[in-house]
């Protein structure tokens, strides 16, 4: 909880900076675990109920773990008819997870979305901020290998 204390201290524990504090904490953990929220409530003299009310009000706060890499598959109509379900199925198979979930190693979170507004490129998979158009089952492997390779490079 050292990081949490550090972040709260950065804002002098000011309650009017609660959103910024929560954003910084989320940037640190990638989500807001319950034990962290309990600590924040205690340190800032708020009840957990009050704090949870704030957290659930803003869609940007995550109460479920999120992987380091977010993969979003567009399941809008245009992408759907061009094969998005097959791409999603392949991702679920390769990641051994399902849409809406995070891999146990917390490396990937798989999500779906309804139309990204770039239908001509469909089916689209977004990795982080990068759009990958005309996705196929075959391209899924290459995409995941690329991430895994960069992760291995980063840990060496
Ligand atoms: S349906 Fe996928 S971008 Fe529009």
Judged on CB neighbours under 10 Å (0-12, 13-18, 19+), 66 is: middle
**Which ligand 1 atom is at minimum distance from the Cα of 124?**
2
Kindly state if the Cβ of 135 falls inside 6 Å of ligand 1.
no
Rounded distance between C-alpha atoms, residue 24 and residue 17, angstroms: 11
- Tens digit of pLDDT for each residue in 135-149? 999 999 999 999 989
Rounded distance, CA 53 to CA 37, Å?
11
Q: How many CA within 13 A on the CB side of residue 83?
A: 17
pLDDT tens column, 78-100: 999 999 999 999 999 999 999 99
Q: How confident is the model at residue 156 (pLDDT cuts 50, 70, 90)?
A: low
Dist. CA 31–CA 61, nearest whole Å: 7
Atom of ligand 1 nearest to the CA of 74: 2
Structural domains in the chain, CATH included, are: 2-57 (no CATH), 69-155 (3.40.30.10)
How many A from CA of 115 to the centre of ligand 1? 4
Residue 134 Cα to ligand 1 middle (Å)? 11
Mean pLDDT of 101-114: 92
Q: Ligand 1 in contact with 119 (CB < 6 A)?
A: yes
pTM, two decimals, is 0.75
Rounded CA separation 108/84 (Å): 18
């Amino acid at each position: 909880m050292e990081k949490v204390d550090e972040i709260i201290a950065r804002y002098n524990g000011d309650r009017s900076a609660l959103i910024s504090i929560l954003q910084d904490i989320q940037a640190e953990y990638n989500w807001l675990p319950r034990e962290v929220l309990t600590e924040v409530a205690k340190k800032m003299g708020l009840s957990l109920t009050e704090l949870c009310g704030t957290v659930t009000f803003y869609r940007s706060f995550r109460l479920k773990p999120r992987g380091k890499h977010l993969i979003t598959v567009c399941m809008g109509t245009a992408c759907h008819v061009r094969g998005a379900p097959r791409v999603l199925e392949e991702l679920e198979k390769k990641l051994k997870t399902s849409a809406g979930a995070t891999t146990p190693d917390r490396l990937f979170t798989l999500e779906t979305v309804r139309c990204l507004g770039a239908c001509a490129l469909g089916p689209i998979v977004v990795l982080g901020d990068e759009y990958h158009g005309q996705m196929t089952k075959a391209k899924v492997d290459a995409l995941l290998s690329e991430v895994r390779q960069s992760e291995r490079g980063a840990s060496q």
